[in-house]
């Protein structure tokens, strides 16, 4: 399996295989994105996105669309910038000191990467699920009710109860927890905790769910449950998922984007990309020559 | 006495060289033959030479006075002893004065005779001590020297002794606690023989005078400590009302809002407040704050005592701000970043994240920190001694003067008075209460904080 | 309930609700942030007021009003027989010489009452200083000395603006006549504010003009010496045992809990312990630095142990494994490899513990280091007081002139503390190591 410790992309991340090392030094002009980055009627459109951590240039000139009701998988070796890219879309990089994001992220004809745009409604529209399940140290009910409460989405307790139930049902957790909503969320198993976090994100009724390696801390059975859930959720939400597992990307996503050292190397329909990769680096990666 | 210690040191260093030489010659000059290096053999002899004698010396010095006093008292004429313990103490003082050469007036013959006896005992004791410090190291050193041979495991022996010494050092903390408990407990029990414990704990009147004549009105004084407890609580409460909001909000701002540079400046500045000695706070309270509050109260038409609980509590609160703030800072920083990410990811603002996620998560740690701060406020002495009053008023009005447990301990024990009066013993009873209450708070607080840390480790 | 639908307020879109509530939440955010800034500002303002109030009161104490007098060391007064015997010199009436030196300035003052009023302008300290001078050099007898002697504290307060000249004469500490003399002396250049060396070289005194902090500083020094010599070795030894040797059992658990609790026991309780154990049980003398040092040792020990253990913990296990791997015993490993690496951190902890002990007052009150002591202590068994206790004593004195001296003594104490803490910071910076 692949390691998942490197959360932040660094362009000088070491490659494991000799082949990769040679390829990593291919000149810039050979690193143009292969495949169609654009879709019709996109939910999110990124133009010339660059991210810097202090002096380090983490991702370069990314152009990429996220379509409506699709699952877009972001794959690539550790430190390739896929998590950084994901965190641009709901401006979570704002919370990292020294991080600078340049370029446009267009949502509903508005560039949400401009400082005037308030992150509060943006993040409400783009729910996020993190690498490690991070339920709050509160009851299961309060975890799910957190978003609706702070945003004032419900008028009364009955409505709130309904939102909590709906979210838990959609997250496939309701049957397991309906008897013990008042117990701490931290007492659940890892997979249940992650589904609780998904329910917490759903409760705000976002348009997009951003998932940052949501299964990397889970066992295979819990992973399978979450993957099935993603396919279900696709009917109501747009999902953008970062994953280390090519198998996972192949199983759940419609489109796949392959990142390498801060560059977007190739984008395409998932089936296409895994069967006929258009770029040598993509082929090397999916055939396991480096990782 | 110092010279005896120096003699011991000299003996030990000689013993070290002799032991080392002995080890060398025992091995026939071939160090590899030895189990332990010659230095260890030397050290072994030196330890035997120095340690037992040093222990005897210390024991002798600490017990000498008490033993001689007892012997002298036992030899006093019966009629003095029958006059009771207080009279005996007086006579003993007089004897000691005569011995040390400060004579007031004409001591009578018995005293002079006893003083002569005292002097004799003292010189015998000194002679014996000097003899012992000369003989004991030589004997013990010779014993150790004989054990040296190539197979002797000097290193293990030396290390055993040193580990023993280290262990002894670490038990001093336990001995201190035992010493505190025993000393306050014994004196308190004596106090409770003359004043019932229920009166002390529940009595509403505190006026600890000692009688000049036996038949004087109110000769026993009143030892109801409730006004003291109430005063202590009142001042501690005011201090907490100042310190908790300011300390907690500063910690929150410093850890959640402030940038690195602001934090690097503001945090050490606030911590200066923790390094200022309490006597300085006391002086500040008496010199600046109390007059200011009195004048301000005067402007508002309020009658403020010049030693108001408000002034003492306010200054004590200032002292405790950095205490609350650095403890809260620690626990807030221990809340994992993932919690913040989770909250921000849903679209919560910073303050919503702090109020609804971070504070609830950090609450046990914060409560533990506040309990520690309360314990510190209750035990704080100098600020209240200098800025709170002596009048044992039972009031909840912060503008009046109140007194506290620590103020009374200081007042009862500073100055010369005989040690056995209920007045001085009362101080130990107050000390017992203070120790028990602060210990209770500390144990709970430290337990909560430890559990809290384990949760996120 | 039908799955997949969310109830919303009156069918509004969630985004609309969020946008509508945004302004209110923004305001709450700003408010909360302001509380934080206000809290920090309050803390800093308190700090500023504290320092301004102390420095503002203190700086005048470094100057003392002095009077320049020509003192004729009359052999008939000092040593009528001409023996130059030290006993005679010591018992002579120097007050008379100072008085006549002052009266030489105002030859026309005749009446006893006026003369007494005039004499009150000069502090009593002048007499003792003169005696010390003559005893040191007996040959001076017969000469005329021109010396600056300290003026009385009331004169000093007048020159420092703390006595109102315009106040009614009855309510003033100096009479109109005295004011006139002071003005004359000043115009002749015989009365001036000069550097107050006495403050640093003398012991305590009932007279503010000749009260100094030397005795208290020396007392503090001896107390700290005892504390350092006992608490540092014991603290390090205890920390080494607990961190490197102790087996995990109930006993070490008890020691550990004990140390943590002891660190939070009020300092006055340690004073009670010292009184009951060292003075009443072991019969050590009251008011001496030895007992003060013992009490402060017990008080500082937990701090030093906790700091030392933290430093030992920070030394990585690889260092120990490397030493143990070449056959060193556990003790050799600790003494030769771990301790040298941990030493700077332990010293830092010890200095911080010492700084705390230096400012500690309450336990010293309990063991009698609060007596009025004029002489400079010569050792750890001489009666002494300590700097913070001196501050406490002076703060209680009614004379106005003691306020500035208390503040100045506070400033000196804070200076020592700042030096010690700076030393700790430097030590930490210099030897800080990241593994």
Supply the pLDDT for residue A23: 44
**If residue A61 lies in a helix (H) or strand (E), which one and from where to where?**
strand A56-66
Place of tokens 């420092």: C160
β-bridge pairing C191-195 and C63-72:
antiparallel
SS3 C278: helix
d(CA C323, CA C336): 9
Q: What pTM, to 2 d.p., does this model score?
A: 0.87
Highest mean pLDDT among B131-140, B431-440, C362-371: B431-440
Provide, as residue numbers in chain A, all residues whose Cβ is less than 8 Å from the Cβ of B339: 134, 136-137
Q: What is the largest CA-CA distance in chain A?
A: 61
> For residue C142, what are its two tokens?
């017969």
Supply the pLDDT for residue B233: 95
d(CA A42, CA C221): 77
Rounded to the nearest integer, the mean pLDDT of chain A is 86
Q: How many CB atoms lie within 10 A of CB C105?
A: 19
% of chain A surpassing 70 pLDDT: 89
Provide, as residue numbers in chain B, all residues whose Cβ is less than 8 Å from the Cβ of C403: 287
A122 touching B, CB under 8 A?
A: yes
Please give the residue of chain A at the shortest CA–CA distance from C17.
Answer: A153
A30 in any annotated domain:
no
Provide, as residue numbers in chain B, all residues whose Cβ is less than 8 Å from the Cβ of A97: 259-260
Please give the residue of chain A at the shortest CA–CA distance from C10.
Answer: A155
Q: Answer whether residue B217 shows pLDDT above 70.
A: no
DSSP notation for B310-361 = HHHHHHHHHHHHHHHHHHHHHHHHHS-HHHHHHHHHHT--HHHHIIIIIHHH
Supply the pLDDT for residue B90: 76
Supply the pLDDT for residue A25: 55
d(CA C368, CA C385): 9
**If residue A110 lies in a helix (H) or strand (E), which one and from where to where?**
strand A110-111
d(CA B374, CA B240): 7
Q: Answer whether residue A16 shows pLDDT above 80.
A: no
CA C145 to chain centre: 36
First to last CA, chain C: 59
Q: For residue range C255-267, what is the model confidence (pLDDT) as tens digits?
A: 888 998 998 899 9
Q: Which of B97, B128, B132 is nearest to B111 (CA)?
A: B97
Confidence of residue C354 (pLDDT cuts 50, 70, 90): very high
Supply the pLDDT for residue B444: 93
Provide, as residue numbers in chain B, all residues whose Cβ is less than 8 Å from the Cβ of C359: 275-280
Q: Which of A103, A89, A109 is nearest to A41 (CA)?
A: A109
A125 in any annotated domain:
yes
d(CA B173, CA B26): 43
Supply the pLDDT for residue C308: 94
A169 in any annotated domain:
no
Supply the pLDDT for residue B419: 59
The least confident of C14-18, C149-153, C230-234 is C14-18
Please give the residue of chain B at the shortest CA–CA distance from C371.
Answer: B415
d(CA A256, CA A241): 10
**If residue B225 lies in a helix (H) or strand (E), which one and from where to where?**
none
Confidence of residue A214 (pLDDT cuts 50, 70, 90): very high
Contact A123 B341 (CB under 8 A): no
Which CA distances in Å does B316 have to B232, B410, C26? 12, 18, 35
The least confident of B4-18, B169-183, B277-291, C409-423 is B4-18
d(CA A67, CA A65): 6
A163 touching C, CB under 8 A?
A: yes
d(CA C294, CA C300): 10
Domains belonging to chain C, first-starting first, are 63-196 (no CATH), 214-431 (1.10.3720.10)
Boundaries of every domain in chain B: 2-152, 222-455
Supply the pLDDT for residue B416: 57
Predicted ipTM > 0.85: yes
B446 touching C, CB under 8 A?
A: yes
Which CA distances in Å does A15 have to A285, B61, B143? 11, 73, 69
Contact B245 C234 (CB under 8 A): no
The CATH number that applies at residue A71 is 3.40.50.300
> Which residues, other chains included, contact B370 with Cβ-Cβ below 8 Å and sequence gap of 6+?
B240, B244, B324
> For residue C393, what are its two tokens?
């004593």
Place of tokens 């050979």: A30
**If residue A48 lies in a helix (H) or strand (E), which one and from where to where?**
strand A44-53
A214 in any annotated domain:
yes
For residue B321, give how far its alpha carbon lies from the nearest alpha carbon of chain A (Å).
28
Q: Answer whether residue A73 shows pLDDT above 70.
A: yes
Q: Answer whether residue C434 shows pLDDT above 70.
A: no
> Which residues, other chains included, contact B181 with Cβ-Cβ below 8 Å and sequence gap of 6+?
B435
Candidates A205, A232, A236, A237, partner chain C, best to mutate (most C CBs within 10 A):
A205
Contact C43 B270 (CB under 8 A): yes
Confidence of residue A15 (pLDDT cuts 50, 70, 90): very low
> Which residues, other chains included, contact C60 with Cβ-Cβ below 8 Å and sequence gap of 6+?
C160, C404
B339 touching A, CB under 8 A?
A: yes
Confidence of residue B286 (pLDDT cuts 50, 70, 90): very high
Place of tokens 């010779």: B142
d(CA B247, CA C400): 36
The answer to whether the beta carbons of residues A211 and A75 sit under 8 Å apart is: no
Contact A95 B340 (CB under 8 A): yes
Portion 189-208 of A in contact with B at CB < 8 A: 197, 200-201, 204
d(CA C305, CA C116): 61
Candidates B345, B358, B365, partner chain A, best to mutate (most A CBs within 10 A):
B345
> For residue A161, what are its two tokens?
């109860």
Supply the pLDDT for residue B134: 83
Supply the pLDDT for residue A26: 58
Give mean pLDDT, residues B14-27: 84
Q: What is the CA radius of gyration of chain A?
A: 19
d(CA B414, CA B409): 8
**Residue of B159, B286, B372 lying closest to C329 (CB–CB):** B159
d(CA C124, CA B380): 38
Q: A65: domain range?
A: 35-131+207-286
Burial C290-313 (b: 16+ CB within 10 A, else e): bbbbbbbbbbbbbbbbbbbbebbe
User: What's domain B222-455's superfamily in CATH?
Assistant: MetI-like (1.10.3720.10)
Percent helix, strand, coil in chain B (nearest 5)? 80, 0, 20
d(CA A113, CA A115): 6
Contact C273 B180 (CB under 8 A): yes
Size of the A and C interface in Cβ pairs below 8 Å = 52
Confidence of residue B357 (pLDDT cuts 50, 70, 90): very high
Contact A150 B339 (CB under 8 A): no
Q: How many CB atoms lie within 10 A of CB A134?
A: 23
Q: Answer whether residue C3 shows pLDDT above 60.
A: no
Q: Answer whether residue A1 shows pLDDT above 60.
A: no
Contact B270 C275 (CB under 8 A): no
Report the C-alpha dihedral over residues A243, A246, A248, A252, rounded to 10 degrees: 100
Q: For residue range B125-140, what is the model confidence (pLDDT) as tens digits?
A: 888 888 888 888 888 8
For residue C34, give how far its alpha carbon lies from the nearest alpha carbon of chain B (Å).
9
Residue positions counted in chain A: 291
The answer to whether the beta carbons of residues C267 and C356 sit under 8 Å apart is: no
Supply the pLDDT for residue B452: 83
For residue A265, give how far its alpha carbon lies from the nearest alpha carbon of chain C (Å).
35
Supply the pLDDT for residue A2: 39
β-bridge pairing A71-75 and A238-242:
parallel
Environment class of B119 (CB within 10 Å of its CB; exposed 0-12, middle 13-18, buried 19+) = middle
d(CA B420, CA C28): 62
**Residue of A97, A121, A136 lying closest to B342 (CB–CB):** A136
Q: Which of B278, B224, B242 is nearest to B403 (CA)?
A: B224
Please give the residue of chain C at the shortest CA–CA distance from B378.
Answer: C266
Give mean pLDDT, residues B42-57: 86
Q: Please tell me what DSSP assigns to residue C80.
A: T
d(CA C155, CA C161): 10
A21 in any annotated domain:
no
Q: For residue range A95-150, what is the model confidence (pLDDT) as tens digits?
A: 888 899 999 999 988 999 998 899 999 999 999 999 999 999 999 999 999 999 99
Q: For C2-85, where are the alpha helices, taking DSSP H only?
A: 14-58, 75-78
A134 touching C, CB under 8 A?
A: no
Place of tokens 């529940």: B202
Confidence of residue A13 (pLDDT cuts 50, 70, 90): very low
What are residue A75's DSSP bridge partners? A258
Q: Which of A254, C435, C46, A7 is nearest to B280 (CA)?
A: C46
The answer to whether the beta carbons of residues B287 and B307 sit under 8 Å apart is: no
Confidence of residue A4 (pLDDT cuts 50, 70, 90): very low
The least confident of B78-92, C134-148, C153-167 is B78-92
Supply the pLDDT for residue B50: 85
SS3 A97: coil
> For residue B32, what are its two tokens?
């590899």
> Which residues, other chains included, contact C143 with Cβ-Cβ below 8 Å and sequence gap of 6+?
C72, C73
d(CA B38, CA A5): 53
A127 in any annotated domain:
yes
Give mean pLDDT, residues C112-122: 88
Provide, as residue numbers in chain A, all residues whose Cβ is less than 8 Å from the Cβ of B348: 120, 146-147, 150
Give mean pLDDT, residues B3-9: 84
Q: For residue range B305-341, what is the model confidence (pLDDT) as tens digits?
A: 888 899 999 999 999 999 999 999 999 999 999 999 9
The answer to whether the beta carbons of residues C204 and C211 sit under 8 Å apart is: yes
A120 touching B, CB under 8 A?
A: yes
SS3 A263: strand
């Amino acid at each position: 399996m692949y390691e998942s410790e490197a959360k932040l992309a660094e362009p000088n991340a070491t490659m494991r295989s000799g082949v990769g090392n040679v390829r990593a030094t291919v000149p810039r002009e050979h690193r143009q994105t292969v495949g169609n980055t654009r879709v019709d009627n996109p939910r999110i459109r990124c133009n010339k996105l660059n991210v810097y951590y202090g002096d380090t240039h983490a991702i370069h000139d990314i152009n990429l669309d996220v379509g409506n009701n699709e699952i877009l998988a972001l794959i690539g070796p550790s430190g390739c910038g896929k998590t950084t890219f994901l965190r641009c879309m709901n401006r979570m990089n704002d919370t990292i000191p020294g991080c600078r994001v340049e370029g446009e992220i267009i949502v509903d004809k508005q560039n949400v990467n401009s400082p005037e745009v308030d992150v509060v409604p943006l993040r409400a529209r783009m729910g996020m699920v993190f690498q490690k399940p991070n339920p709050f140290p509160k009851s299961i009910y309060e975890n799910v009710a957190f978003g609706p409460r702070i945003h004032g989405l419900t008028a009364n307790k009955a409505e709130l109860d309904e939102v909590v139930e709906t979210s838990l049902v959609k997250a496939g957790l309701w049957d397991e927890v309906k008897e013990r909503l008042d117990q701490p969320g931290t007492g659940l198993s890892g997979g249940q905790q992650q589904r609780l976090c998904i329910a917490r994100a759903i409760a705000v009724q976002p348009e997009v769910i951003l998932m940052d390696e949501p299964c990397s801390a889970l066992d295979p059975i819990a992973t399978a449950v979450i993957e099935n859930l993603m396919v279900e959720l696709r009917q109501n939400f747009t999902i953008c998922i970062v994953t280390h597992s090519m198998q996972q990307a192949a199983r759940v996503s419609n489109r796949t984007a392959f990142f390498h050292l801060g560059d977007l190397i190739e984008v395409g329909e998932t089936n296409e990309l895994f069967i006929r990769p258009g770029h040598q680096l993509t082929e090397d990666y999916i055939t396991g020559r480096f990782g | 006495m110092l010279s005896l210690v120096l003699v011991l040191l000299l003996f030990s260093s000689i013993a070290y060289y002799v032991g080392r030489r002995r080890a060398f010659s025992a091995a026939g000059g071939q160090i590899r033959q030895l189990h332990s290096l010659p230095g260890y053999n030397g050290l072994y002899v030196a330890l035997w030479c120095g340690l037992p004698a040093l222990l005897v010396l210390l024991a002798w010095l600490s017990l000498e006075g008490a033993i001689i006093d007892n012997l002298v008292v036992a030899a006093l004429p019966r009629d003095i002893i029958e006059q009771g313990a207080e009279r005996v103490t007086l006579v003993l003082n007089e004897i000691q004065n005569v011995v040390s050469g400060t004579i007031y007036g004409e001591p009578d013959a018995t005293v002079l005779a006893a003083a002569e006896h005292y002097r004799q005992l003292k010189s015998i004791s000194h002679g014996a001590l000097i003899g012992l410090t000369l003989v004991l190291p030589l004997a013990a050193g010779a014993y150790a020297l004989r054990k040296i041979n190539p197979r002797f495991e000097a290193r293990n022996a030396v290390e055993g002794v040193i580990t023993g010494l280290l262990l002894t050092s670490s038990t001093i903390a336990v001995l201190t606690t035992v010493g505190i408990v025993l000393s306050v407990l014994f004196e308190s029990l004596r106090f409770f023989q003359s004043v019932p414990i229920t009166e002390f704990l529940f009595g509403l009147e505190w006026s600890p005078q000692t009688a000049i004549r036996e038949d004087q009105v109110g000769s026993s004084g009143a030892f109801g400590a409730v006004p003291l407890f109430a005063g202590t609580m009142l001042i501690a409460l005011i201090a907490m009302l100042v310190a908790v909001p300011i300390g907690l909000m500063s910690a929150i701002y410093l850890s959640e809002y402030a940038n690195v540079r602001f934090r690097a400046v503001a945090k050490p500045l606030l911590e200066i407040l923790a390094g200022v000695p309490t006597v300085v706070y006391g002086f500040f309270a008496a010199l600046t704050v109390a007059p200011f509050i009195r004048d301000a109260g005067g402007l508002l038409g309020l009658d403020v005592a010049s030693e108001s609980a408000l002034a003492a509590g306010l200054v004590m609160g200032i002292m405790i701000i950095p205490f609350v703030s650095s403890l809260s800072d620690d626990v807030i920083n221990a809340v994992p970043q993932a919690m913040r990410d989770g909250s921000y990811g849903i679209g919560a603002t910073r303050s919503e994240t702090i109020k609804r996620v971070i504070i609830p998560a950090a609450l046990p740690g914060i409560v533990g920190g506040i309990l520690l701060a309360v314990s510190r406020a209750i035990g704080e002495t100098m600020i209240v001694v200098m800025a709170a009053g002596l009048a044992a008023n039972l009031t909840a009005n912060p503008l009046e003067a109140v007194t506290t447990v620590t103020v009374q301990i200081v007042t009862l024990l500073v100055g010369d008075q005989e040690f056995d009066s209920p007045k001085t013993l009362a101080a130990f009873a107050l000390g017992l209460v203070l120790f028990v209450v602060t210990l209770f708070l500390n144990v709970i607080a430290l337990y909560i904080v430890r559990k809290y840390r384990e949760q996120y480790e | 309930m039908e799955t997949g639908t969310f109830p919303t307020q009156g069918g509004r879109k969630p985004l609309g609700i969020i946008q509508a509530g945004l302004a209110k939440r923004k305001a709450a955010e700003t408010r909360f942030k302001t509380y934080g800034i206000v809290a920090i500002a309050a803390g800093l303002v308190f700090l500023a007021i504290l320092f301004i109030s102390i420095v503002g009161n203190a700086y005048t104490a470094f100057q003392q009003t002095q009077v320049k007098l020509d003192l004729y060391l009359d052999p008939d007064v000092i040593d009528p027989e001409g023996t130059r015997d030290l006993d005679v010199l010591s018992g002579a009436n120097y007050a008379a010489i100072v008085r006549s030196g002052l009266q030489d300035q105002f030859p026309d003052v005749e009446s006893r009452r006026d003369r007494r009023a005039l004499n009150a302008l000069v502090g009593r300290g002048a007499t003792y200083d003169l005696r010390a001078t003559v005893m040191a050099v007996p040959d001076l007898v017969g000469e005329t000395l021109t010396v600056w002697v300290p003026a009385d504290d009331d004169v000093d307060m007048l020159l420092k603006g703390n006595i109102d000249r315009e106040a009614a004469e009855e309510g003033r500490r100096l009479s109109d006549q005295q004011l006139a003399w002071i003005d004359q002396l000043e115009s002749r250049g015989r009365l001036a504010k000069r550097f107050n060396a006495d403050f640093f070289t003398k012991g305590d005194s009932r007279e503010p003009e000749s009260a100094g902090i030397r005795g208290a500083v020396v007392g503090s020094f001896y107390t700290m010496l005892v504390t350092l010599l006992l608490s540092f070795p014991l603290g390090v030894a205890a920390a080494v045992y607990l961190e490197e040797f102790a087996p995990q059992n109930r006993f070490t658990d008890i020691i550990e809990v004990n140390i943590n609790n002891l660190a939070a026991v009020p300092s006055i309780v340690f004073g009670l312990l010292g009184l009951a154990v060292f003075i009443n049980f072991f019969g050590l003398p009251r008011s001496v630095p030895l007992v003060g040092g013992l009490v402060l040792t017990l008080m500082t020990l937990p701090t030093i142990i906790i700091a030392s253990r933290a430093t030992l913990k920070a030394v990585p296990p690889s260092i120990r494994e490397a030493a143990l791997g070449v056959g060193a015993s556990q003790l050799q490993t600790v003494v030769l490899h771990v301790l040298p690496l941990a030493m700077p951190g332990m010293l830092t902890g010890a200095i911080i513990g010492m700084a705390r002990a230096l400012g500690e007052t309450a336990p010293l009150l309990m063991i009698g280091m609060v007596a009025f002591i004029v002489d400079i202590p010569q050792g750890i068994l001489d009666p002494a007081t300590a700097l913070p206790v001196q501050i406490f004593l002076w703060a209680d004195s009614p004379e106005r002139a003691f306020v500035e001296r208390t503040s100045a003594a506070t400033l000196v104490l804070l200076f020592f503390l700042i030096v010690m803490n700076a030393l700790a910071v430097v030590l930490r910076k210099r030897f800080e190591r990241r593994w």
